[in-house]
Amino acid sequence: MITLIGLLFLLVLSNFSEPERVSISLLKKELGDYLNKEVKVQGFVLNFKSFESGDVLFDIGDLNDSFEVRGSFSNSLIKNNDYCEIIGVLKEYNSKYFIDATSIKIG
């Protein structure tokens, strides 16, 4: 019974904890370590594109590097040069890596 309560507590805790922030350079250097895991990165929005479907596509960049971000947000207020924090899962499709964003905080 105690084991079950412990597992339940860990499950609840994992749903409320955010991933540790990682630099874009480190993320690119260690793709295998982060693939299919939740990551948090910060930087400036570059090459922003939005689509009627609500999908957005852009790069997030810091002083040293940039990384592609994709997501679906119905009222996206994002624009180029905004500083933001992205939380999402690092994914790969056709040998191309990107962050599938689940949360975007501007500012």
Per the structure, the count of domains in the chain is 1
CB-based contact 85:40 (threshold 8 Å) = yes
Angle among Cα 60, 99, 42 to the nearest 5 degrees reads 40
State yes or no: pLDDT of 3 exceeds 70. Answer: no
Is 97 contained in some domain? yes
Is 33 contained in some domain? yes
Is 7 contained in some domain? no
Domain that residue 46 falls in: 19-106
Residues 6+ apart with CB under 8 A from 65: 24, 25, 28
The predicted structure's pLDDT at residue 107: 85
What pLDDT, in 10s, does the model give residues 26-78?
999 999 999 999 999 999 999 999 888 889 999 999 888 999 999 987 666 88
CATH number at residue 55: 2.40.50.140
Question: Which tops the pLDDT comparison, 6 or 79?
Answer: 79
Q: Which of 21-25, 72-76, 98-102 is predicted with the least confidence, judged by mean pLDDT?
A: 72-76
Mean pLDDT of 15-30: 86
Q: Which two tokens stand for residue 107?
A: 């500012």
State yes or no: pLDDT of 11 exceeds 90. Answer: no
Is 14 contained in some domain? no
State yes or no: pLDDT of 14 exceeds 80. Answer: no
DSSP letters of 14-40?
Answer: HHHPPPPB--HHHHHHTHHHHBTSEEE
The predicted structure's pLDDT at residue 96: 94
Give percent of the chain with pLDDT exceeding 70: 82
